[in-house]
């Protein structure tokens, strides 16, 4: 039987293995040590690795993100946990003006091998100030990488690659995925003895011939659900492309899929204005215009602050039904 573990456990395994592999890896953030993390992602790591490797920080994102960036410039590989990615705004100057720019501004002499990770999603009724999806913002700055895994398998493999990367990697998760289980092979079942997924490589989660549903993060799960219904009830074969890494972006896999299906919808939990889907829709239409049988469509959140009310917030986010409605309009 394949080994099934949760998204949360996959992230923990990745960090545990990298702590063992490289003595310069450290974990820092609010309540990551004795409390085992706000979402129990770091559970047991403090007991195993101690105060020098698993470091609790004050409630000051500007302070501890700045500290992590400075440490990374000296060769440490910090993995910083944000309790919510919404708090990136508190450390905006540190992330954007320092982490993203230091290699360029130093003429390539200083690297910044830091990972900033945590949940970036709505749908949990925690209000507008705790429900940001800033992957479009982070990906817009040259010098930073932005990764959004949709499954436990990808979460483990991508986090290990992110920790080893010499550039700052913004790693965005979903609280709604933490408890979900997927097949993740144990290391002794893998040819190379470990699971490492290169950044900048998309993945075809489901093959299809009639339309490409392209997405990142939890929206990939929404697309997979929509694809099943499209096949069963409408006879439409939908291919699901998981971008996985927004920057660097695997344009080749996306364009190859759309060149075969001739139709595309980008699905994301972010808002539509200046969204990730806007960039990818432009990329598709500018490079595959003659291959398209219909306009490239998008499914996003409603363009408004995250709604606190659970019934209303459920209407604000992308659903399989919305994806199906868009797909039927162009198939």
Residues designated catalytic: 61, 130
**Full DSSP string of 50-106:** -TTTEEE--S-HHHHHHHHHHHHHTT-EEEEEPSSGGGGGGGHIIIIIIITTHHHHT
Q: What are 69's two structure tokens?
A: 């960036």
- DSSP at 14: H
**What's the rounded Cα separation, in Å, for the pair 142 and 261?**
31
Name the nearest CA neighbour of 65 among 27, 97, 94, 102.
94
**What's the rounded Cα separation, in Å, for the pair 262 and 83?**
41
- DSSP at 128: G
**What's the rounded Cα separation, in Å, for the pair 323 and 331?**
12
Q: What are 124's two structure tokens?
A: 């949990």
**What's the rounded Cα separation, in Å, for the pair 54 and 74?**
18
By three-state DSSP, how is residue 299 classified?
A: strand
**Full DSSP string of 232-286:** HHH---EEEEE--EEETT-HHHHHHHHHHHS-EEEE-SS-STT-HHHHHHHHHHH
């Amino acid at each position: 039987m394949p080994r099934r573990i949760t998204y949360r456990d996959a992230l923990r395994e990745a960090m545990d293995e990298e702590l063992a592999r490289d003595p310069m890896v450290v974990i820092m953030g609010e309540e990551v040590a004795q409390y085992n993390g706000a979402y129990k992602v770091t559970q047991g790591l403090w007991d195993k690795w101690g105060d020098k490797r698993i470091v609790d920080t004050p409630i000051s994102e500007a302070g501890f993100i700045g500290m992590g960036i400075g440490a990374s410039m000296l060769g440490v590989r910090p993995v910083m946990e944000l309790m919510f990615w919404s708090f990136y705004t508190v450390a905006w100057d540190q992330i954007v003006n320092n982490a993203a720019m230091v290699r360029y501004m130093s003429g390539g002499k200083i690297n910044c091998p830091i990972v900033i990770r945590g949940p970036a999603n709505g749908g949990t009724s925690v209000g507008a100030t705790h429900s940001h999806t800033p992957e479009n913002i982070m990906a817009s700055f040259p010098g930073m990488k932005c990764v959004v895994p949709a499954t436990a398998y990808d979460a483990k493999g991508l986090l290990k690659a992110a920790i080893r990367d010499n550039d700052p990697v913004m790693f965005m998760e979903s609280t709604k995925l933490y408890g979900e289980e997927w097949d993740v092979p144990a290391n002794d079942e893998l040819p190379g003895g470990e699971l490492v997924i290169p950044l900048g490589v998309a993945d075809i989660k489901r093959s299809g011939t009639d339309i490409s549903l392209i997405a990142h993060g939890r929206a990939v799960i929404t697309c997979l659900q929509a694809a099943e219904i499209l096949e069963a009830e409408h006879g439409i074969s939908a291919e699901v492309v998981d971008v996985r890494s927004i920057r660097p972006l695997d344009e080749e896999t996306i364009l190859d899929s759309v060149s075969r299906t001739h139709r595309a919808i980008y699905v994301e939990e972010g808002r539509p204005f200046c969204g990730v889907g806007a960039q990818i829709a432009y990329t598709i239409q500018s490079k595959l215009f003659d291959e398209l049988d219909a306009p490239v469509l998008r499914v996003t959140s409603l363009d408004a602050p995250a709604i606190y009310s659970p019934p209303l917030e459920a209407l604000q986010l992308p659903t399989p039904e919305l994806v199906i409605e868009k797909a039927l309009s162009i198939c």
